[in-house]
Amino acid sequence: MSTSSITFNRRSFIRTSSLASGGLLIGFNLFTACKPKVQPPVDISQLNFNDFNAFIKIADNGAVTIYSPNPEIGQGVKTAMPMLIAEELDVAWDKVYVQQGILDTENYTRQLAGGSQSIRLGWEPLRQTGATARQMLVNAAAAKWGVAPSECTTSEGVISNAKGETLGYGDVVKEAAIMEVPESVTLKEPKNFKIIGTDAQNVDIDKIVTGKPLFGLDYKVDGMVYACVLRPPAFGQILDSYDDTKAKAMPGVIDVIRIGEKAKELSKEGIGNWTVAMGKSDKVVVIAKTTWEALKGKEAISAQWVNGSVLESTEFQDKQLIGLLDGKEFKTLRKDGDINIAFAKADKTLERTYESPFLPHNCMEPMNFFANITDEKIHLVGPVQTPEFAATAVAGMLGRDVKDVHLEMTRMGGGFGRRLYGDFVYEAAEIADLIRKPVKLVFSREDDMTAGTYRPAIKYRIKAAIKDGHVTAYHLKEAAIGGNMYGLIPNFFPAGAIENYQVDVANYQSNITTGAWRAPYTNFLAFAEQSFFDELAEIMEVDRIQLRLDLLEKVKGSTDERIQYSPERMQNVIKVAVDKSGWGKKEDGVFQGFAAYYCHNSHVAEVADVEIENGVPVVKKVTCVVDCGIVVNPLGAKNQIEGGVIDGVGHAMYGDLTFMEGKPQSQNYDKYRLIRMGEIPVVESHLIQNEIAPTGLGEPTLPPAGAAVANALKAATGNRFTQQPFSKFPELMQVPTKPIIG
Amino acid sequence: MPKYDIKVNGISKSVDVAEDTPLLWVLRDHLDLVGTKYGCGIAQCGACTVHIGGTAVRSCSLPIASVGVQEITTIEGLSEDGSHPVQMAWKEVDVPQCGYCQTGQIMTASAFLDKNPNPTSDEIKTAMHGNICRCASYTRIHRAVEIAATKLG
Ligand code: FES
Ligand code: FES
């Protein structure tokens, strides 16, 4: 047994109280708990329950309810996070009721966004919270029996003593509620886990399959009206004038208003930079009694737009990015040794450029938000991944106290990074502030696809030097729209494995808004890098798997703290993937491609199998091996792995958003291709079993998928894909009539 | 505005809406049946699928004026309590990720299995091809349809 150590005082984020209705309520601040850098308040007597955002309720009858504050975007954290609490609380999972509801609509603001980091950050504090609650219940029972707490054991919500007497948790909640919060608690050894590591169904499953109102778009209150917004049709345009006579005469249309003043305030203050392109222009809003009437009303507006800045086309942007790669203006993010000397001395060099398009997020549930603003209160409800930030920004833009803001989160019909950006919250708030009625802002699919914060178009150029059969230099250059790679990404593989190594970045500031998209930067960088290593192996005439393993070998024992990938874990997932995929042992007609990648603290290796059907290569199977530490919920984990891999394959094959004079050329699913049922590969997933603390799973299986497919397509067709999406190059999909040599 | 009498989940309803109003928005905004989802509005994603006279229909592209007297079934009427074999299979496989597309998927699958209770794997793929799942839970959707078929068969 290990006593867990944590760098902050547990008392500051846990508080208990007895409930008027009977039972015990344990409140804890997940925000503080999961982000140890946030300083808990010094004087805890000043804390009240409003400062807590997650709760465990144990009723008199022993029933346990966990109020999970984390927004669910489809990654399963709403199930996995309560599992961590329940494990240490020592209750049976099927007796636990998980609610994302709010305990108190007046006073409860949920603060924490989801994402691949939730489980990693919550791993210790959530288990500690459960263990603390359990210890208090045990202490209460021990006091009742007059025995030492250490003589008591628990199992599935029942406390037993050495004499064989038992008490249910519900029997001692009253006493436990007034007990001291213990200073330290003992956490279970992983081998004693009963809930962690077992399959748990999505906690909302019953509601989802029966169509209960769960999502933002489903939220309704009496007297609510609907708003649809006419935004500039092209990035770079701004509103000049509009005629709303026709719209105002349409059935159900209540009013037509102009917004934009407040949003401009926001961008002036530097908040919400990502809304700049759209935020620079005023917008026309149609308020109507129903969604359909608002959508129709919007179509009836005739607006004039003027060009505020250059209307960019994809061709123009491509030239800018290539110009950057060819140029000399770079910021160096990492530099080891001297690449120039190594290149000068090289026997051979290889240089390749890889190109990716913009991608919209296309969450299945279009952006939307509810707002109701009175002099007393700003009530916001909907799907957003950054509620705290949105609440602060809205208060700032309306010149109100943030305490007036009550933000509730709904389940989200997908996130993929889009709902990190609060543009739709600000729009809803500005509208509600003007009309002073409860209002639901609704994006049509066209609005959603054309007013995006897209995955930026990026180009990578990679050059390597080979000397005496070794890779002696690696130079990665990035030219991106908007921002550049950040954080530890420049220190991912092959940093540390190659003596002379340099990462240079440059960016072009476009007026097209860009932002995070599932696995930011790595979603395409992995494709570039892992395609490049395959080519490198080919010109070095070495085994492509061995090349990667050998390079990883050199990272072992590294003392460079920036390098956080583990060469041992990486080698392991590679070896397991080789084994499980039958690498190199496939019958004729099956062409395999390999990729391995580390991001979001998890290690992944994938093998894609391509077969020829009716003369075209088809991705039939992807074997995916993941080391993400302890797997909290294998059932949910496999769902994430399958989804991530298929998403990666789908976007590499089909995803493409181009611009013509600032206008997105796809507006809806008729012109934007997403992978569908008939195109999916079988995904065989393998989770590495170990006892290392869990890491991210929502994102890391996506990045390597594109490279594994490209490498398999090369094997099948002899052609190298360096640009996504692959479907844009049907000529490269031609299968040669003669067998490929080499 | 014209008045339309429709029958939804066995109950007669009367709605006062413009004739071009898609059934989707009548269900969601007028009848509070929000289990039927909006995804694209142009019959491309299947999120809005309902049954009309037992056939799967894209309610976003069906004007109320064309509905007529045929019986409409939405996810809320597929079963009282989620006990329809397709819903049961969905739970057994734990299909959803974000969950948004799933009611549409279930409605497409249930209408399909009514007509073809013993489908092949390829027939399932073809039948479900029109429903997008952005979270790509396709593998589990396929599995759940197979399981539902054995429950129905
Ligand atoms: S909303 Fe009807 S098919 Fe997409
Ligand atoms: S589960 Fe998210 S769109 Fe299908």
Answer yes or no: do A144 and A257 share one domain: no
Answer yes or no: do A402 and A268 share one domain: yes
> In A211-364, which residue ranges form alpha helices assigned H by DSSP?
245-248, 261-268, 276-279, 291-299, 314-326, 339-345
Binary contact (A642, B137; C-beta < 8 A): yes
In ligand 1, the atom with minimum distance to the C-alpha of B43 is 3
DSSP output for B78-109: H-SSS-SHHHHHHHHHT--SS-TTHHHHHHHH
Does A555 fall in a domain? no
pLDDT tens, residue by residue, A571-595: 999 999 999 999 999 988 999 999 9
Kindly report the nearest CA distance between residue B69 and chain A, in angstroms.
22
| CB B26 near ligand 2, within 6 Å | no
Binary contact (A290, B39; C-beta < 8 A): no
Does A583 fall in a domain? yes
**Residue A265: per-residue pLDDT:** 75
Q: The CATH number of the domain where B40 resides is what?
A: 3.10.20.30
In ligand 1, the atom with minimum distance to the C-alpha of B130 is 3
- Burial class of residue A585 in the structure, from the number of CB atoms within 10 Å of its CB (0-12 exposed, 13-18 middle, 19+ buried): exposed
**Residue A273: per-residue pLDDT:** 47
Can you state the angle between helices A118-145 and A77-89, rounded to 10 degrees?
30
**Residue A79: per-residue pLDDT:** 82
Mapping DSSP to helix (H, G, I), strand (E, B) and coil, where does residue A694 land? coil
**Residue A68: per-residue pLDDT:** 67
Strands B11-16, B3-8: pairing kind: antiparallel
Which residues, including other chains, have CB under 8 Å from residue A385's CB and lie 6 or more apart? A71, A73, A113, A114, A115, A412, A415, A419, A420
DSSP A381: E
* Domain closes at, from A407, A429, A450: A450
Q: The CATH number of the domain where B109 resides is what?
A: 1.10.150.120
- Which has the closest alpha carbon to B90: B33, B129, B42, B128? B128
Answer yes or no: do A588 and A657 share one domain: yes
**Domain of B65, in residue numbers:** 3-77
Q: Which of B40, B102, B133 sits opposite A208 (nearest CB)?
A: B102
Least confident of A145-149, A585-589, B18-22, B62-66: A585-589
Ligand in nearest proximity to the CA of B134: 2
Query: How many other CB atoms sit within 10 Å of the CB of residue A556?
Result: 12
Element counts in chain A: helices (H) and strands (E) = 19, 30
Ligand in nearest proximity to the CA of A643: 2
Q: Is A297 on the interface with B (CB under 8 A)?
A: no
| CB B22 near ligand 1, within 6 Å | no
A293 contacts in chain B (CB < 8 Å): 18
Answer yes or no: do B70 and B50 share one domain: yes
- Which has the closest alpha carbon to A629: A595, A603, A597, A606? A603
Answer yes or no: do B58 and B96 share one domain: no
Binary contact (A211, B75; C-beta < 8 A): yes
Residue type, A602: S
**Domain of A390, in residue numbers:** 216-309+361-450
Residue type, A26: I
Binary contact (A678, B82; C-beta < 8 A): no
Best mutation target, B134, B137, B142, to test chain A (most A CBs within 10 A): B134
Does A522 fall in a domain? no
Q: Closest Cα to atom 3, ligand 1: which residue?
A: B43
pLDDT tens, residue by residue, A492-520: 999 999 999 999 999 999 999 998 999 99
Q: What percent of chain B has pLDDT over 70?
A: 100
Answer yes or no: do B68 and B16 share one domain: yes
DSSP output for A315-329: HHHHHHHHHHHHSS-
Query: How many other CB atoms sit within 10 Å of the CB of residue B19?
Result: 11
Q: Which of A75, A291, A676 sits opposite B25 (nearest CB)?
A: A291
Q: Is B74 on the interface with A (CB under 8 A)?
A: yes
Does A84 fall in a domain? yes
Place of tokens 């074999």: B85
Which residues, including other chains, have CB under 8 Å from residue A454's CB and lie 6 or more apart? A358, A359, A360, A361, A512, A513, A514, A515, A517, A657
Mean pLDDT of B125-138: 97
Contact between residue A512 and residue A312 where contact means Cβ atoms under 8 Å apart: yes
**Residue A20: per-residue pLDDT:** 64
Answer yes or no: do B12 and B59 share one domain: yes
**Ligand 1 centroid distance, CA of A491 (Å):** 43
Q: Is A291 on the interface with B (CB under 8 A)?
A: yes
DSSP A701: T
Q: Is B2 on the interface with A (CB under 8 A)?
A: no
* Domain closes at, from B77, B99, B128: B77
Answer yes or no: do A227 and A301 share one domain: yes
The DSSP H or E segment spanning A26 is: strand A24-28
Can you state the angle between helices B138-152 and B85-93, rounded to 10 degrees?
140
- Using CA atoms, how far apart are residues A380 and A373, in angstroms rounded to an integer? 8
List A residues 76-135 in contact with B (Cβ-Cβ < 8 A): 76
| CB B46 near ligand 2, within 6 Å | no
Answer yes or no: do B141 and B107 share one domain: yes
Q: Which of A202, A217, A640 sits opposite B38 (nearest CB)?
A: A217
Side-chain-side CA neighbours of residue A129 (13 Å): 35
List B residues 76-115 in contact with A (Cβ-Cβ < 8 A): 76, 79, 81-82, 87, 90-91, 94, 96-103, 106
List B residues 12-31 in contact with A (Cβ-Cβ < 8 A): 17-18, 20-22, 25, 28-30
Q: What was the ipTM of the complex prediction?
A: 0.98
**Residue A125: per-residue pLDDT:** 79
* Domain closes at, from A393, A424, A450: A450
pTM of the entire predicted model: 0.91
Binary contact (B96, A642; C-beta < 8 A): no
**Residue A73: per-residue pLDDT:** 62
Does A635 fall in a domain? yes
Binary contact (A292, B22; C-beta < 8 A): yes
DSSP output for A632-693: S-HHHHHHHHHHHHHHHHHHHHH--B-EETTEES--STTTS----GGGPPEEEEEE----SP
| CB B130 near ligand 1, within 6 Å | no
- Which has the closest alpha carbon to A553: A470, A497, A627? A497
Answer yes or no: do B58 and B121 share one domain: no
Contact between residue A227 and residue A431 where contact means Cβ atoms under 8 Å apart: yes
**Ligand 1 centroid distance, CA of B131 (Å):** 9
Answer yes or no: do A598 and A721 share one domain: yes
Q: Which of A252, A643, A674 sits opposite B97 (nearest CB)?
A: A643
The DSSP H or E segment spanning A506 is: strand A500-508
| CB B61 near ligand 2, within 6 Å | no
Q: Is A640 on the interface with B (CB under 8 A)?
A: yes
**Ligand 1 centroid distance, CA of B149 (Å):** 25
Answer yes or no: do A250 and A174 share one domain: no
Does A510 fall in a domain? no
In ligand 1, the atom with minimum distance to the C-alpha of B61 is 2
Model confidence band, residue B119 (pLDDT cutoffs 50, 70, 90): very high
Does A625 fall in a domain? yes
Answer yes or no: do B73 and B7 share one domain: yes
Binary contact (B39, A364; C-beta < 8 A): yes
pLDDT tens, residue by residue, A54-80: 678 888 888 888 876 556 666 677 788
Domain count, chain B: 2
Residue type, B123: E
Complete edge-to-edge strand list for the sheet that includes strand A96-99: A14-18, A24-28, A54-58, A64-67, A96-99
Answer yes or no: do A247 and A157 share one domain: no
Q: Which residue of B has its CA nearest to A668?
A: B40
**CA A624 to chain centroid:** 19
Q: Give CA separation, A202 vs A78, A83, A637, in Å.
A: 8, 11, 11
Answer yes or no: do A22 and A99 share one domain: yes
Binary contact (B134, A674; C-beta < 8 A): yes
| CB B138 near ligand 1, within 6 Å | no
Kindly report the nearest CA distance between residue B53 and chain A, in angstroms.
20
Ligand in nearest proximity to the CA of A362: 2
Strands A96-99, A64-67: pairing kind: parallel
DSSP output for A34-89: H-TTSPPPS-GGG--GGG--EEEEE-TT--EEEE--SPPSSSSHHHHHHHHHHHHH
Answer yes or no: do A78 and A37 share one domain: yes
**Residue A5: per-residue pLDDT:** 36
Mapping DSSP to helix (H, G, I), strand (E, B) and coil, where does residue A500 land? strand
Answer yes or no: do A249 and A130 share one domain: no
**Ligand 2 centroid distance, CA of A273 (Å):** 29
Answer yes or no: do B59 and B121 share one domain: no
| CB B87 near ligand 2, within 6 Å | no
Q: The CATH number of the domain where A282 resides is what?
A: 3.30.365.10
Domain count, chain A: 3
Answer yes or no: do B50 and B71 share one domain: yes
Kindly report the nearest CA distance between residue A10 and chain B, in angstroms.
33
Answer yes or no: do A189 and A226 share one domain: no
Q: Which residue of A has its CA nearest to B81?
A: A210
Binary contact (B137, A366; C-beta < 8 A): no
| CB B138 near ligand 2, within 6 Å | no
Q: Which residues of chain A have pLDDT under 70?
A: 1-21, 28-54, 68-75, 100-118, 268-279, 737-742
CA angle A675, A678, A681 (to 5 degrees): 75
Answer yes or no: do A189 and A283 share one domain: no
DSSP output for A105-161: TTT-------STTHHHHHHHHHHHHHHHHHHHHHHHHHHHHTS-GGG-EEETTEEE-
Binary contact (B35, A212; C-beta < 8 A): yes
For chains A and B, what is the number of CB pairs under 8 angstroms?
A: 185
Binary contact (A646, B36; C-beta < 8 A): no
